[in-house]
Amino acid sequence: MLVYPNAKINLGLHVTARRPDGYHNLETVFYPIPLMDALEAKESHTGGSFRQSGNALDCDPADNLVMRALKAVEAEHQLPQLDIHIFKHIPSGAGLGGGSSDAAFMVRLLNEQFQLGMSPSEMRKLVAPLGADCAFFIENSPMLATGIGDQLTPISVNLSGWTIIIVKPDIHVSTRDAYAGITPRQPAESLPDILALPVEQWQGRLFNDFEPHIFALHPEIAAIRDRLLDLGAVYAAMSGSGSALFGLLRAPIDHAEEKFADCFVRQRQL
């Protein structure tokens, strides 16, 4: 069976409080976008295997979230040996949720392929320990995320008809570095209130709290955001705590790949 795990963007991201357990409470909206990996699993006649192609991931195969998701399902359900192949197209370390999506889609694939009968809530519970945003990809629709990003509430946000451009510079932003410059605060406006406004009114009101610190550390990332706006994006921002940026436009950017050289990822209509 073949599935296509998609990426997400964060529409706004507020870091609202530091928790006693060392994590932080957030307020953000996860929105699915059509930037996809490919994931295939089929019964094996040779004892099972795992293969990855496309963008390289610097981790042991046993630590890959797809394999960890498989083990989580195997702990509760009997499965045959599988040959698994994942083609990575979503950039890693980008704030686009590629690894989390792969894990969630693996659980969804197994549930459908082997008729395991798991409900969406059971699948969310199964993937939650693998990553705070994994549960989002089970239902894969716009969600207001609070807590550490694991408390999900459906939200009405529709970007149909908008063009999105994704740019990922060759800069790694670690989660540790991203949070090092954060001072938690309560936002002046809630995300649902801002997102109820026309997209043309988001710039200057819809903020990612990681941006000031990350932009100061890496001015190249800020320059890409500004370039997106100069080229016609009505809203542009960093997604999550990674280094990928996205812009929302009414019309595609001509020759976008040339304009962003080797950091261009994809331009698509939502």
Model confidence, pTM: 0.93
For residues 194 and 205, is the Cβ–Cβ distance under 8 A? yes
Which tokens in the block code for residue 218?
A: 């890496």
Average pLDDT per 10 consecutive residues for the chain, totaling 270 residues:
96 92 90 96 90 74 86 95 94 89 97 97 95 93 92 95 94 82 88 96 95 93 95 95 93 90 88
Catalytic positions are 8, 133
Q: Give domain limits for the chain.
A: 2-154, 163-269
At residue 58, the pLDDT reads 59
Q: What contacts 119, CB < 8 A, 6 or more positions away? A: none
Query: Alpha-carbon distance 41 to 49, whole Å?
Result: 10
C-alpha span between 33 and 156 (Å, rounded): 15
Residue 27: its H or E element: strand 24-36
| pLDDT value at residue 7 | 96
- What is residue 175's predicted lDDT score, i.e. its pLDDT? 78
> What is the DSSP secondary structure assignment for residue 116, as one 8-state letter?
-
Question: Which top CATH class is 2-154?
Answer: alpha beta
Please answer whether residues 95 and 10 qualify as being in contact, where contact means their C-beta atoms are separated by less than 8 angstroms. yes
Examine domains 2-154 and 163-269 and report if their fold is the same.
no
**36: Cβ contacts below 8 Å, ≥ 6 apart:** 4, 5, 6, 7, 89, 90
Superfamily of 163-269 according to CATH: GHMP kinase, C-terminal domain (3.30.70.890)
Amino acid 130: pLDDT = 93
**Is 33 within 8 Å of 61 (Cβ atoms)?**
no
Is there a contact between 191 and 222 (Cβ–Cβ < 8 Å)? no
Q: What are the DSSP calls for 24-67, one per residue?
A: EEEEEEEEEEEEE-EEEEEE-SSS-EEEEEES---S-GGGSHHH
What pLDDT, on a 0 to 100 scale, did the predictor assign at position 79? Answer: 95
Residue pair 163/268 in contact by the 8 Å Cβ criterion: yes
Q: Using one digit for the tens of pLDDT, what is the confidence trace for 52-107?
A: 888 766 566 667 899 999 999 999 999 999 999 999 999 888 889 999 999 999 99
Is residue 195 within 8 A of residue 13, CB to CB? The reply is: no
Q: Is 255 helix (H, G, I), strand (E, B) or coil?
A: coil
